[in-house]
Amino acid sequence: MSVQSSAHDEPSAEGTVNVDVPNTARIWNYQLGGKDNFAVDRQASDAANALMRGMGVPGGAEAAVDGRHLLQRMVDFMLGQGIRQFLDLGSGLPNMANTHQIVHRTAPDAKIVYADLDPMVSTHAAALMAGPHVATLMADLREPSQILDSKQVRELIDFDRPVGLMFICVLHCLWDAEDPWGIVGQFRDAVAPGSYLAMSHMTTEAHPDAADRLFEMTQQLHWTTPLVARSRTEIARFFDGFTLVEPGLVPPVQWRPDLNNPLRTAGEHEAGEFVLKARLPGQSGDHGAAWHLCGVGVKDDA
């Protein structure tokens, strides 16, 4: 799918929360059962889910839950490879099983930076995910220097050591004209060899007609971002300069299901947040919602 941007995709004034149009981050929050959303987001989400049901394909809630389980497995994989600092780019609203929760159950001294342009995301993240090894940054990943040159980031992340770069369900929110491949390339060039790129991206592979219809809906309802599904070849281009680890580019439920170890749900008398419910993905023939292709790559030596 080759698409061009339209005028309504320009962000609202910095620091403002626009409740007049559907917001992609808030829609994702609603799909995950969160409360940080407004009526306009719920209406758009329900309309998209109804469209998908009418076409006989999985809806957003299934894809969202698949994505959160995937996040846990990818983070735990990178931890197992010795990664102790992470850039979560386009991180979205805090919700079940956030990156720092997953990381800190294994490596409490590991460093995490969350970066997102949305002012509501930034405000909520700063309030809910504060800590000595966690930073939240309101920045536009389309301008990598806003993140890479940030004093806050430089004080926390040592770019001479490997970093886990995370683009989970975000790059399909960028138009081709914004050159998402070049953006990823700038982050790749800023990190040390041995760093990892973890990505999940909407694909045209499993549900091509539904992907086209969903894209059209994002334009008709004036979502704050498009949902640009891309081909396997286009998604593989993001890994230029990285070597994909096994099993390569696959639907989320098929990416290393042996690592499935969701954060427990807090009991009635226990402190903590409600997080992921147990799921056993990746069973034989299980493609899950299959809205995304995902993979992890390790940066090649210079």
- pLDDT at residue 158 in the model: 98
| Structural domain includes residue 36 | yes
What average pLDDT does this structure show over 14-42?
Answer: 85
pLDDT at 258 over 50: yes
Burial of 284 (0-12, 13-18, 19+ CB in 10 A): exposed
| Structural domain includes residue 8 | no
For residue range 70-118, list pLDDT tens digits in order.
999 999 999 999 999 999 998 766 666 789 989 999 999 999 999 988 7
Q: Work out the pLDDT band at 122, boundaries 50, 70, 90.
A: low
For residue range 196-235, list pLDDT tens digits in order.
999 999 999 989 999 999 999 999 999 989 999 999 999 9
pLDDT at 165 over 90: yes
What average pLDDT does this structure show over 184-198?
Answer: 98
- pLDDT at residue 274 in the model: 39
| Structural domain includes residue 288 | no
Q: Work out the pLDDT band at 271, boundaries 50, 70, 90.
A: very low
CATH code of the domain containing 180? 3.40.50.150
| Structural domain includes residue 299 | no
| Structural domain includes residue 190 | yes
pTM of the model: 0.87
| Structural domain includes residue 10 | no
| Structural domain includes residue 18 | no
When the pLDDT of each residue in the chain is averaged and rounded to a whole number, the result is 85
For residue 155, give its domain range: 24-265
Share of the chain above pLDDT 90, in %: 63
- pLDDT at residue 25 in the model: 85
* Structural domains of the chain, count: 1
- pLDDT at residue 61 in the model: 86
Q: Work out the pLDDT band at 65, boundaries 50, 70, 90.
A: confident
- Dump the DSSP string for the chain: ------GGGSPPSTT----SS--HHHHHHHHTT-S---HHHHHHHHHHHHHHHHTTS--HHHHHHHHHHHHHHHHHHHHHTT--EEEEET--S--SS-HHHHHHTT-TT-EEEEEES-HHHHHHHHHHS-BTTEEEEE--TTSHHHHHT-HHHHHH--TTS--EEEEES-GGGS-GGG-HHHHHHHHHHHS-TT-EEEEEEEBSSS-HHHHHHHHHHHHHTT-SS----B-HHHHHGGGTTEEEPTT-SB-GGGS-GGG--PPPPP-TTS-S---PPP-----TT--TT--EEEEEEEEPP-
| Structural domain includes residue 281 | no
